[in-house]
Amino acid sequence: MAPTAASAALPETPFLYAILDASLRGSRSLSEWAALLCGEDRARVLQWRFKGLPDAEALAGARELRAATRRRGVLFFVNDRPDIARMAEADGVHVGQEDLDPEEARLLLPGALIGVSTHNRDQFDAASRSSADYIAVGPVFGTASKQNPDPVVGVEFVSWAASRTSRPVVAIGGLNASNAPAVMRAGARGLAVISELMKAGDPAAAARSLAREIHRAAG
């Protein structure tokens, strides 16, 4: 099934996709994080991930980030929750294998972008038959961002996935400035990154470095 026309669109050129995890925010406000991570020379897409937060706090955070991303001209996604994405007027929602499928999410978000996580070939093929606007694959490398991560799929899986679809493939899992070029050359359109950005001593510099390597690899 082809993606449904959305009111927003993913960047046409390779991009950094920053994931802002509530558990790693520390003392900074969400608006401060958005200012550090997002921009033309940094992340062009930001996702709000808030596992374990009360719904009211998650929604308040989504609204704060929606305002901050609008000011910076970047796309804003909510992780897992199309209801919160709708209330916050997000550009889209990202769903996992245990969440609503893309078609169900579109019932709440008919004009939004929908992304879906995949971790093996069967899941990827199912996502390719859905209306998802982009397909995430991973973890490409080992990651500590999840308590029980799926098995590592490797760069080869990124290459295989990119050869199976014309939709953007977004790689995730253990990505950094050193391994980003190989993943981009394998066919990823975007790189989704959490720890390398949020645990950095200088998150803005880390975002610039990753974005620079993404664009360099893309030629």
Active-site option among 42, 44, 49, 66: 49
Q: What is the DSSP letter of 66?
A: H
**Could you tell me how far CA 59 lies from the centroid of its own chain?**
18
Q: What is the DSSP letter of 89?
A: T
Active-site option among 117, 130, 145, 209: 117
CA distances from 82 to 78, 94, 138, 156 (A): 7, 8, 22, 31
Based on the residue annotation, tell me whether 145 is a catalytic residue of this protein. no
* Dihedral sign from CA coordinates of 29, 191, 49, 138: negative
Based on the residue annotation, tell me whether 71 is a catalytic residue of this protein. no
Three-state DSSP class for residue 154: helix
Active-site option among 51, 121, 146, 216: 146
Place of tokens 């200088």: 202
Cα dihedral value 147, 125, 182, 73, nearest 10: -80
DSSP H or E segment with residue 181: helix 180-185
Q: Please give the Cα distance from 75 to 43 (Å, whole number).
A: 9
Catalytically active residues, by annotation: 49, 117, 146
